[in-house]
Amino acid sequence: MDADRKRWNKKFAEGIYITKPSGSVIEFSTLAKGKKALDIAAGMGRNSEYLVSQGFDVDALELSDVAVKKLKSIKGVKVFQVDLDEYTLPQNKYDLIICINYLSRKLFPQIINALKPGGVLIYETLMHGKETEKLKRNPDFLVKEGELLQAFNDLELIEYKEFITTGKNNVKVNKALFVGRKPR
């Protein structure tokens, strides 16, 4: 945990992060019927801040001290500094859960349980593929083709795609996006 915290503190302190909200959060957050949201691995708060601007009450989970300080400055965001390897998500609490650019397979069943009936999940993360492999990322933190579909098959599918996009510094990466709704 300390090594991860130090690594993320350094990255965020150096300004190595995306500042605009995720396009998938902008596009699909409107599908949530209620206004209680969870931002998993919220980073510097780009998506939490967007959700608050749309009327959501946001719980943000984050490990980095640097990011937590920034998140606490965003009015309407309740911040929890946690190690997601040890944290347990509350059950049936959220109308919307977002997880952008973070992968913890251990959380998959917890995410489903944390959604209220009718709640929406937006999960977008890096995946295996030619572009991402050029970056020499740890393959344990990349989803495989179709993995999000399988992991969240208990949810009603709204959108699924695997695609190549341009990230920070115009670097191309392979990503997967899953959007689903928990049955009522």
List the Cα angle 113/92/29 in 5-degree steps. Answer: 90
The pLDDT of residue 15 is 66
- Which of 112, 50, 102, 44 is CA-nearest to residue 73? 44
Please state, in angstroms and rounded to a whole number, the distance separating the CA atoms of residues 182 and 151.
Answer: 13
The pLDDT of residue 76 is 93
The residue written with tokens 């959380």 in the block is 107
> Mean pLDDT throughout 95-124?
97
Please list, in sequence order, all residues whose beta carbon lies within 8 angstroms of the beta carbon of residue 155, skipping any fewer than 6 positions away.
112, 115, 121, 180, 181, 182, 183
pTM: 0.90
Q: Is 183 helix (H, G, I), strand (E, B) or coil?
A: coil
Mean pLDDT of the chain: 89
pLDDT tens profile 33-66: 999 999 999 998 999 999 999 999 999 999 888 8
Please state, in angstroms and rounded to a whole number, the distance separating the CA atoms of residues 182 and 154.
Answer: 7
The pLDDT of residue 132 is 63
Res 21 pLDDT > 80:
yes
Q: Total structural domains in the chain?
A: 1
Give the CATH number, domain containing residue 121.
Answer: 3.40.50.150
Band (168; pLDDT cuts 50, 70, 90): low
Q: Are 93 and 114 in contact (CB under 8 A)?
A: yes
- Which of 167, 148, 34, 139 is CA-nearest to residue 97? 34
- For residue 140 the two structure tokens come to 């344990």
- For residue 164 the two structure tokens come to 């190549």
pLDDT tens profile 129-154: 777 666 667 777 888 999 999 999 99
Task: Look up the domain containing 169 and give its range.
Answer: 2-181
Reduced DSSP (H G I as helix, E B as strand, rest coil) percent helix, strand, coil of the chain, to 5: 35, 30, 35
Please state, in angstroms and rounded to a whole number, the distance separating the CA atoms of residues 180 and 184.
Answer: 12
Q: Are 118 and 182 in contact (CB under 8 A)?
A: yes
DSSP 37-92: EEEET-TTSHHHHHHHHTT-EEEEEE--HHHHHHHHTSTTEEEEE--TTT--PPSS
The pLDDT of residue 35 is 97
